[in-house]
Amino acid sequence: MGSLPTDEIAHDFPPFFRVYKDGRVERFHNYVYVHPSDNCNTGVQSKDVNNNSARLYLPKITGKNKKHDKYLQSIVTKDNVVALSVNYRLAPKHLLPMCYDDSWSVIRWTSLHIEMCDHFILTKEIVMEPWLKDHVNFSRVFLAGKSAGANIVHDMVVLASASENRLGEGFKITAIALIHPFFGNYEVDEYCSFVFPECEGLNVLRLNLTAHLRLLSSLICRKVMIFTAEKDFLRERSLTYYDALKKSGWNGEVKIMETQGEYHVFHLLEPNCEKAGLLMKRLVEFFNEKI
């Protein structure tokens, strides 16, 4: 017989998760899987693509009829955009840099749709997605994420900005939105060491970028929008990133919006409140700005 579960805690990282000595993981925010669907109220269609590594959202098209899922449904409806949500693997079961690798893989797969070449279409490992081929303007790509997802968004644009990682002619990341972004402290703390055991040397760049202005100055996107909240425990790191980007010599435009009296990712916890509505309104406006 196996040993009984124990309540002894091995690692405790609120507000993210707790790991017990018997290996169990308790997440403080449980995300319930929502099946893809055709929403009869909004007209938004969704489906899982690329071996379920991402979910694709298509806005209502003439002649066709959980929190993250509902939020993306709302953005797609209000902004009339095609949204692709990356289903990256989560720590602590899958330690970093897995989430970065998964996200980059989806972006690379998406960029291949520009080629429209027969050898891509017929390759078993690369399955082309008609919704992307038929409805996406690849010269106007926005990346957006909240909390750790915002950190990943920044890393993706850094990778895309490196000459050896260009995504091909015609695929242009024009702007990024970072909502309550998670960046590390000036030192690698206990939490970062646990979820990212290889975060020594250059890999620290993914958690603490403010000391590396050269990378910030070379970002290929033209605009950055940062969202903060007054009572967010990560607020100061967002402001530090904002200041570092402005001082880096990057020739793009960076803006910041702070929501007073609110906490980290409040817009997902209370999506119907007035301030969450204002955040979404500003996000939709950002997507519609001229680049």
Q: Which residues form the catalytic set? A: 147, 232, 264
CA distance 190 to 105: 28
Asked if 205 and 192 count as a contact pair (C-beta separation under 8 A), the reply is no
Asked if 55 and 87 count as a contact pair (C-beta separation under 8 A), the reply is yes
CA distance 157 to 270: 29
Considering only the C-alpha atoms of the chain, give the largest distance between any 2 of them, rounded to a whole number of Å.
Answer: 64
Residue 100 φ then ψ, to 5°: -65, -45
Residue 225 three-state SS: strand
Residue 18 class from Cβ within 10 Å (0-12 exposed, 13-18 middle, 19+ buried)? middle
Pairing between β-strand 141-146 and β-strand 83-86 as defined by DSSP bridges: unpaired
Record the tokens describing residue 156, joined without a space.
């993706």
Asked if 224 and 254 count as a contact pair (C-beta separation under 8 A), the reply is yes
